[in-house]
């Protein structure tokens, strides 16, 4: 007892000393102030980027406690080493040391004293967090989250850091050295090693996936206990260890020995916990390998088709018991004796029966082989009843996704979230087909691809018994009954689902849901939110009666736009835990987030764009978001429709309607493609980023998409064509384009190119086949390549067939083949009905060919013509494809009335707008086409999309400033095709050397500014591996010549130039040409007209803000239409010529060698016109001639593009 009192007195005195130290007071005060500032910022609805912290009960305290953990770790070092310093003052220490206490008591007392000081600080921070959370944050409050974080994050870190500091301080006499070591250690764990090696070195828990969900709590509690427990124990081991290093003569050998033993025991326990944790992680990889191997072994066994499936399931606690009555049909050519089924390996089969007779079975991992007593003949059927129980082993999910991706935590800002693919817990159940929760014939899709995916359309019946209070959601409208038989588990509720159509897949979700539903046009629309999570419908109270009408409008316009109708009688939005994760797949655009009839929304809609109805509902904020063009793609497209109403005049109903539309459009009906853009309008869409105060980037790596499109196509139509495994994906991508957005493809990624540019660059050297095998690149997921390539396949087929009503026919074909596999013959007969095409060769070439076509555009003009006594507007241009690859281009023409996507989404909103004039032009290899398009209205601009091609940039926009009348010129609508004949070089007396040509010479690379590179590296958010720098890079131009792409630059396919920071003139680039004859030549350089390009770039930027893609025109249309979308837009003036703003500054210094001497010519760019600009006329000899340009310039940078020699006759 006395020993404890001594320890407590030492602790009390230490705590008293710490509280009275200014270091602690200042540090604690600053920490508290900083954290309160963060809290206030995050709770403010102004910052949509922080919506997740205002929505998830676990996010707000987590962010604060994570930051506190870091602050506290630093403080612990300072305070811990301070105590050591204090104790080294022998005059004081010796007085203390001469008293009767054990060393262990002293160290323990000191440790507890410091610990208590921090505990008080933590309690104050926690109290402030809880108060602000409870009263201001609007997110649900979960005390469990606080307890979990304190226990698993704060406590282990504090104990470990204190132990480490005290131990090092006892070991090393120099306080400075202890500082240096501990601070370096902190930096190392936070910045470098923290996220690696399964977070084993993440002492602060900064990178470790931790997030509390109201559905399932932490979701990875056991893992965290191991990992964080190891830190806690190791901290204690270090503390006990320090007692043995204490520089004082001990007085109680027994206490010393006990402390030593405690140190060893804690260290051993820590090692056991850590190795159990790591062992589990490595076993996971081994397990996945074994599961895959088992699939390979079973791949040869033919699979039967599942006609019907009667499932009965009863989840209890963390386990479920189930039975499945399967009716299987042998549609193969051979009899089947061994029935191959797959089931999650965590579910163990207890019995297999056929009628009443038991069947032999073997279950290895996910493969279940059932031996029929007699082989099932082709066309024959068999009924198999399977009883099974257990829990879902999530390691068997997503076998097609590589380990690195699976291991990376789901992330929002610096909140790392553990991933869950299935959940069976007492309060919540989430089972999607990926988890293999019911037996299905054959192997899972992830194990089949790239062989043909098996998809059966099955008649399901699902009976779910749940403890009372839980609600089940699955496909079909359930019949509910209550079972009051009092068992140990109390009364039960039984849900029976009988989906009205055959389905390719079935999911089951159960939780404490509160549901809201309405029936519109025979479809039941259900919203399932966890009890206490409905922060949404109160925000829409004014339009509650209109909701059915709103849904009807949206559904109707979507169906019209898509050309396909919704095939089910139910549609549910179901909230799921934040940990529930899904990935893009290679065989379908659908994700596990979307199941037939159901879209799983993340907890509180956190990964959804526009879920922050409260922020959106604030007229100022909403208006601001619309006008500032900072919103997510969907947001601003909606803005195009509704923005004109203006934030200030909009009433609450208008705003609420807008919020509903915005949410539905940007998440469900027309979400961004993967790799989309920030959702300043609220949350995230795809891999996204939003900006918070101080320019903080709040981004997320979630791939989750909630697009309802799969309900219309992926779940209803299946191409059962073994030879074309990607045809389904291509078909989805093509049809999706009718409702989708190109924003993703247009968006500039990291560096200076767009996603589409990156895809093209990749496909120059790789086939689609190679992309699938290699997994693409880190910055360019295969799914993006697939989406772009996929669209192109159908565009190519359409262009080859030349059928104007291709889309209508295709949609009819799809409707006719719903809920049944589509065989190859059906596709071939469909194509044959439209025209002549070798589908096999087309698909084969599309899949295996490398290299891309390239297009050159010439003579683009627009003028008025008289056609049938009416004035019409002629657009005319020539396009050449000099390559040996065929390709397609798409031309979109904006007229004064409206344009592309903007108009379309306007349509979606019920606003009036004319359809865009769009042409798809097939460009066979080595062909030139003169193209004429007749328009009823004056064209404002054209966007030419070269799709999959060598052209860089791949999409460019040309504005038309005026349309002169050309009397007597005939109207022309169509294409005239002629072969491409390459002009002999110099045939017209012109010799052009571009920066892409071999004649262009770069000097050797010089030194780079290491500091700038280091800083760039530190803050680079995208690991872009682009060869091109971005326009933004011109603000801080490179030290060496780097390539930059811009539409206004000279180039055959690639419109690029080199750029370098201005120098002294010693660094030179050169253009060399082999002239066939001596003579007088005029030498021109291509003035890149950056100013003009910036003008257009401005339009582009506006467009990006406005959601990119077609909305690009939003920037253009802004000044004309007066809509807010064009706020950031550039000029609609002519791109070149005197109006172009000259932003490229200074003078160019050329060195021309002629007549045996070198002459320096200085061209002042103020005098220059964009395009070919004369340097001068020179008498040149035949043979190699050279012109150089130095890096000397009076302004920041210098550009090098193309040079032209023109012989004077």
State which residue, 13 or 842, has the beta carbon closest to other proteins: 13
CB neighbour class for 552 (10 Å; exposed up to 12, middle 13-18, buried from 19) = middle
State which residue, 10 or 1203, has the beta carbon closest to other proteins: 10
Report if residue 95 touches other proteins, rule: CB under 8 A: yes
Least distance (Å) between residue 258 CB and other proteins: 15
Least distance (Å) between residue 116 CB and other proteins: 16
Among 26, 94, 176, 549, indicate the residue that binds other proteins (CB under 8 A). Answer: 94
State which residue, 248 or 824, has the beta carbon closest to other proteins: 248
Among 53, 73, 99, 1005, indicate the residue that binds other proteins (CB under 8 A). Answer: 99
Least distance (Å) between residue 125 CB and other proteins: 24
State which residue, 100 or 695, has the beta carbon closest to other proteins: 100
> What's 969's DSSP letter?
P
Q: Which stretch binds other proteins (CB under 8 A): 94-102, 321-329, 496-504, 998-1006?
A: 94-102
State which residue, 252 or 338, has the beta carbon closest to other proteins: 252
* β-bridge mates for residue 820, sequence order: 717
Least distance (Å) between residue 95 CB and other proteins: 6
Least distance (Å) between residue 529 CB and other proteins: 54
Among 2, 649, 962, 1021, indicate the residue that binds other proteins (CB under 8 A). Answer: 2
Alpha-carbon span 212 to 214, nearest angstrom? 7
| 6 in Cβ contact with 101 (< 8 Å) | yes
Least distance (Å) between residue 12 CB and other proteins: 8
State which residue, 105 or 435, has the beta carbon closest to other proteins: 105
State which residue, 27 or 52, has the beta carbon closest to other proteins: 27
Alpha-carbon span 666 to 647, nearest angstrom? 19
DSSP three-state, residue 1023: coil
Site for other proteins in 679-718 (CB under 8 A): none
* β-bridge mates for residue 934, sequence order: 874
Least distance (Å) between residue 536 CB and other proteins: 54
Categorise residue 586: left if φ over 0, alpha if ψ from -120 to 50, beta otherwise: alpha
Closest CA to 727 of 654, 827, 607, 873: 827
- How many residues does this entry show for the chain? 1209
Q: Which stretch binds other proteins (CB under 8 A): 88-96, 316-324, 418-426, 430-438?
A: 88-96
Three-state SS string over 398-435 comes to CCCCCHHHHHCCEEECCEEECCECCEECCCCEEECHHH
> What's 644's DSSP letter?
G
Q: Which stretch binds other proteins (CB under 8 A): 2-10, 504-512, 563-571, 945-953?
A: 2-10
Among 51, 101, 421, 709, indicate the residue that binds other proteins (CB under 8 A). Answer: 101
| 921 in Cβ contact with 929 (< 8 Å) | yes
Among 96, 131, 531, 985, indicate the residue that binds other proteins (CB under 8 A). Answer: 96
Least distance (Å) between residue 2 CB and other proteins: 6
Give me the 9-48 binding string for other proteins, x by CB under 8 A, dash otherwise: xx--x--xx--xx---------------------------
Alpha-carbon span 304 to 277, nearest angstrom? 40
Q: What backbone torsions phi and psi does residue 378 show, to the nearest 5 degrees?
A: -55, 135
Least distance (Å) between residue 248 CB and other proteins: 8
State which residue, 251 or 565, has the beta carbon closest to other proteins: 251
Alpha-carbon span 1206 to 1204, nearest angstrom? 6
Alpha-carbon span 470 to 426, nearest angstrom? 10
Among 4, 33, 44, 90, indicate the residue that binds other proteins (CB under 8 A). Answer: 90
What DSSP assignment string belongs to 657-703?
HHHHHHHIIIIIISPPPTT----TTSS-SSSEEEE-GGG-EEEE---
Q: Please work out the total of residues on this chain that contact other proteins, with binding judged by CB under 8 A.
A: 28
State which residue, 82 or 294, has the beta carbon closest to other proteins: 82
State which residue, 95 or 1011, has the beta carbon closest to other proteins: 95
Q: Contacts from 264-272 at CB under 8 Å and sequence distance 24+? A: 264/237, 265/237, 266/233, 266/234, 266/236, 266/237, 266/240, 267/233, 267/234, 267/237, 267/241, 269/233, 270/229, 270/230, 270/231, 270/232, 270/233, 270/234, 270/237, 271/230
Least distance (Å) between residue 119 CB and other proteins: 20
What spatial distance separates the first Cα and last Cα of the chain, rounded to whole Å?
A: 112
| 789 in Cβ contact with 846 (< 8 Å) | yes
Q: Which stretch binds other proteins (CB under 8 A): 89-97, 192-200, 445-453, 778-786?
A: 89-97
Q: Which stretch binds other proteins (CB under 8 A): 3-11, 618-626, 944-952, 1048-1056?
A: 3-11
State which residue, 254 or 300, has the beta carbon closest to other proteins: 254
State which residue, 90 or 774, has the beta carbon closest to other proteins: 90
Site for other proteins in 247-266 (CB under 8 A): 248-252
Q: Which stretch binds other proteins (CB under 8 A): 86-94, 859-867, 945-953, 1188-1196?
A: 86-94
Site for other proteins in 221-250 (CB under 8 A): 248-250
> What's 528's DSSP letter?
E
Q: Which stretch binds other proteins (CB under 8 A): 92-100, 116-124, 442-450, 666-674?
A: 92-100
Q: Which stretch binds other proteins (CB under 8 A): 25-33, 98-106, 545-553, 609-617?
A: 98-106
| 1127 in Cβ contact with 1094 (< 8 Å) | no
Among 41, 45, 74, 86, indicate the residue that binds other proteins (CB under 8 A). Answer: 86
> What's 1000's DSSP letter?
E
State which residue, 173 or 373, has the beta carbon closest to other proteins: 173
Among 78, 97, 764, 1169, indicate the residue that binds other proteins (CB under 8 A). Answer: 97
Among 4, 33, 40, 92, indicate the residue that binds other proteins (CB under 8 A). Answer: 92
Look up residue 897 and give its two tokens. Answer: 């009335």
DSSP three-state, residue 207: coil
Cα–Cα distance list, 190 to 62, 70, 204, 732 (Å): 16, 9, 7, 43
| 538 in Cβ contact with 614 (< 8 Å) | no
> How large is the greatest C-alpha to C-alpha distance in the chain, in angstroms?
115
Least distance (Å) between residue 579 CB and other proteins: 48
State which residue, 16 or 348, has the beta carbon closest to other proteins: 16
Among 6, 363, 716, 1116, indicate the residue that binds other proteins (CB under 8 A). Answer: 6
Least distance (Å) between residue 704 CB and other proteins: 55
Look up residue 970 and give its two tokens. Answer: 């005939």
Residue 16 CB: number of other CB atoms within 10 A?
13
Cα–Cα distance list, 716 to 497, 502, 597, 708 (Å): 19, 9, 11, 12
Look up residue 262 and give its two tokens. Answer: 């405690």
| 736 in Cβ contact with 836 (< 8 Å) | no
Alpha-carbon span 397 to 345, nearest angstrom? 10
Least distance (Å) between residue 28 CB and other proteins: 16
Least distance (Å) between residue 176 CB and other proteins: 22
> What's 608's DSSP letter?
S
Q: Write out the residues near other proteins by the rule CB under 8 A.
A: 2, 5-6, 9-10, 13, 16-17, 20-21, 86, 89-92, 94-101, 248-252
């Amino acid at each position: 007892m006395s020993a404890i009192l001594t320890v407590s007195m030492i602790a009390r005195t230490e705590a008293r000393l710490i509280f009275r130290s200014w270091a602690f007071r200042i540090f604690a005060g600053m920490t508290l102030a900083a954290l309160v500032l963060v809290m206030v910022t995050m709770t403010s609805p102004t910052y949509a980027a922080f919506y997740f912290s205002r929505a998830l009960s676990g996010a707000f305290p987590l962010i604060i406690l994570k930051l506190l953990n870091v602050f506290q770790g630093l403080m612990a070092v300072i305070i811990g080493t301070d105590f050591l310093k204090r104790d080294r003052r022998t005059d004081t220490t010796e007085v203390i040391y001469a008293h009767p206490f054990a060393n262990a008591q002293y160290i323990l007392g000191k440790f507890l004293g410091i610990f208590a000081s921090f505990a008080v600080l933590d309690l104050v921070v926690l109290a402030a967090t809880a108060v602000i959370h409870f009263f201001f944050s609007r997110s649900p409050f979960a005390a469990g989250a606080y307890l979990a974080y304190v226990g698993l994050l704060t406590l282990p870190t504090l104990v470990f850091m204190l132990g480490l500091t005290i131990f090092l301080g006892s070991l090393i006499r120099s306080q400075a050295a202890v500082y240096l070591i501990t601070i370096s250690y902190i930096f190392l764990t936070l910045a470098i090693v923290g996220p690696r090696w399964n977070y084993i070195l993440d002492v602060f828990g900064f990178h470790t996936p931790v997030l509390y969900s109201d559905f399932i709590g932490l979701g990875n509690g056991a893992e965290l206990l191991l990992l964080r427990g190891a830190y806690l124990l190791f901290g204690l081991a270090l503390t006990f260890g320090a007692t043995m290093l204490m520089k004082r003569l001990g007085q109680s050998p027994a206490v010393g020995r006990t402390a030593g033993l405690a140190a060893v025991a804690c260290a051993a326990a820590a090692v056991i916990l850590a190795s159990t944790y790591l062992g589990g992680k490595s076993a996971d990889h081994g397990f996945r390998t074994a599961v895959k191997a088992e699939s390979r072994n079973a791949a040869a066994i033919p699979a039967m088709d599942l006609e019907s499936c009667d499932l009965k399931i009863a989840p209890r606690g963390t386990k479920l018991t189930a039975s499945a009555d399967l009716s299987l049909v042998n549609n193969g050519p051979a009899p089947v004796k061994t029935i191959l089924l797959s089931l999650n390996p965590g579910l163990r089969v207890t019995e297999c029966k056929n009628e009443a007779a038991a069947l032999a079975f073997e279950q290895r991992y996910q493969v279940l082989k059932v031996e029929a007593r007699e082989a099932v003949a082709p066309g024959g059927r068999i009924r198999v009843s399977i009883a099974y129980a257990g829990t879902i082993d999530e390691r068997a999910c997503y076998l097609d996704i590589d380990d690195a991706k699976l291991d990376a935590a789901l992330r929002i800002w610096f909140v790392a979230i553990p991933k869950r693919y299935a959940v069976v817990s007492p309060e919540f159940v989430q089972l999607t087909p990926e988890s293999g929760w019911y037996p299905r014939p054959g192997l899972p899709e992830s194990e089949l691809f790239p062989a043909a995916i098996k998809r059966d359309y099955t008649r399901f019946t699902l009976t779910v018994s749940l403890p009372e209070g839980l609600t089940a959601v699955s496909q079909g409208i359930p019949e509910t009954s209550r079972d009051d038989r009092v068992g140990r588990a109390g009364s039960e509720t039984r849900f029976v689902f009988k989906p009205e159509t055959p389905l390719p897949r079935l999911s089951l979700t159960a939780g404490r849901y509160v549901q809201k539903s309405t029936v519109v046009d025979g479809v039941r629309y259900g919203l399932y939110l966890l009890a206490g999570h409905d922060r949404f419908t109160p925000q829409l109270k004014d339009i509650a009666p209109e909701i059915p009408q709103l849904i009807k409008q949206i559904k109707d316009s979507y169906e019209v736009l898509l050309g396909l109708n919704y095939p089910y009688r139910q549609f549910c939005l179901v909230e799921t835990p934040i940990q529930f994760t899904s990935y893009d797949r290679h065989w379908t655009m659908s994700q596990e987030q979307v199941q037939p009839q159901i879209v799983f929304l993340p907890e509180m809609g956190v990964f959804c764009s526009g879920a922050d109805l409260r922020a959106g509902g604030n007229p100022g904020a909403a208006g601001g978001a619309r006008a500032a063009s900072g919103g997510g793609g969907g947001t601003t497209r909606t803005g195009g429709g509704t923005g004109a109403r203006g934030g200030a005049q909009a009433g609450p109903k208008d705003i609420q309607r807008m919020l509903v539309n915005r949410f539905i459009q940007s998440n469900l009906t027309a979400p961004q493609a993967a790799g989309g853009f920030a959702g300043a309008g609220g949350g995230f869409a795809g891999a996204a980023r939003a900006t918070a105060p101080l320019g903080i980037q709040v981004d997320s790596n979630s791939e989750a998409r909630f697009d309802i499109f799969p309900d219309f196509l992926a779940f209803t139509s299946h191409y059962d064509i073994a030879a074309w495994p990607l045809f389904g994906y291509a078909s989805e991508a093509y049809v999706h384009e009718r409702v989708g957005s190109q924003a993703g493809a247009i968006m500039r990624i990291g560096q200076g190119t767009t996603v589409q540019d990156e895809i093209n660059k990749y496909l120059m050297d790789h086939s689609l086949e190679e992309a699938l095998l290699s997994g693409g690149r880190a910055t360019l997921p295969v799914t993006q390549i697939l989406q772009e390539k996929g669209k192109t396949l159908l565009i190519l087929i359409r262009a080859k067939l030349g059928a104007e009503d291709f889309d209508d026919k295709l949609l009819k074909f799809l409707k006719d083949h719903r809920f049944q596999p589509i065989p190859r013959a059906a596709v071939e007969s469909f194509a044959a009905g439209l025209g002549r095409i070798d589908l096999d060769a087309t698909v084969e070439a599309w899949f295996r060919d490398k290299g891309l076509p390239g297009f050159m555009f010439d003579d683009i003009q627009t003028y008025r013509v008289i056609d049938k006594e009416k004035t019409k507007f002629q657009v005319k241009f020539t396009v050449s494809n000099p390559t040996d690859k065929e390709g397609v281009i798409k031309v979109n023409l904006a007229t004064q009335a409206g344009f592309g996507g903007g108009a379309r989404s306007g349509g979606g909103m019920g606003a009036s707008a004319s359809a865009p004039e769009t042409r798809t032009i097939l460009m066979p290899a080595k062909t030139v086409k003169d193209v004429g398009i007749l328009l009823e209205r004056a064209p404002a601009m054209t966007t030419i999309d070269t799709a999959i091609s060598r052209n860089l940039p791949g999409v460019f926009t040309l504005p038309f400033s005026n349309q002169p009348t050309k009397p007597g010129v005939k109207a022309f609508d169509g294409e005239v095709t002629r072969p491409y004949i390459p002009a002999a070089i110099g045939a017209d007396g012109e010799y052009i050397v571009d920066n892409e040509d071999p004649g262009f010479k770069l000097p050797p690379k010089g030194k780079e500014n290491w500091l700038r590179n280091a800083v760039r590296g530190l803050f680079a958010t995208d690991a872009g591996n682009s060869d091109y720098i971005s326009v933004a890079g011109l603000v801080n131009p490179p030290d060496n010549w780097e390539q930059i792409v811009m539409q206004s630059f000279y180039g055959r396919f690639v419109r690029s130039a080199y750029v370098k920071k201005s120098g002294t003139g010693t660094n030179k680039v050169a253009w060399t040409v082999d002239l066939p004859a001596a003579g007088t030549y005029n030498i021109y350089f291509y003035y890149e007209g950056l100013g003009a390009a910036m003008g257009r770039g401005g339009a582009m930027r506006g467009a990006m803000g406005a959601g990119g893609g077609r909305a690009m025109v939003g920037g253009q249309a802004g000044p004309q239409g007066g809509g807010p979308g064009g706020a950031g837009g550039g000029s609609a003036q002519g791109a070149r010529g005197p109006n172009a703003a000259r932003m490229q500054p200074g003078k160019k210094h050329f060195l021309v060698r002629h007549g045996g001497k070198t002459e320096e010519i200085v061209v002042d760019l103020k005098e220059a016109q964009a395009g070919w600009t004369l340097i001068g006329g020179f008498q040149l000899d035949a043979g190699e001639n050279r012109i150089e340009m130095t890096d000397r310039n009076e302004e920041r940078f210098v550009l090098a593009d193309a040079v032209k020699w023109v012989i004077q006759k």
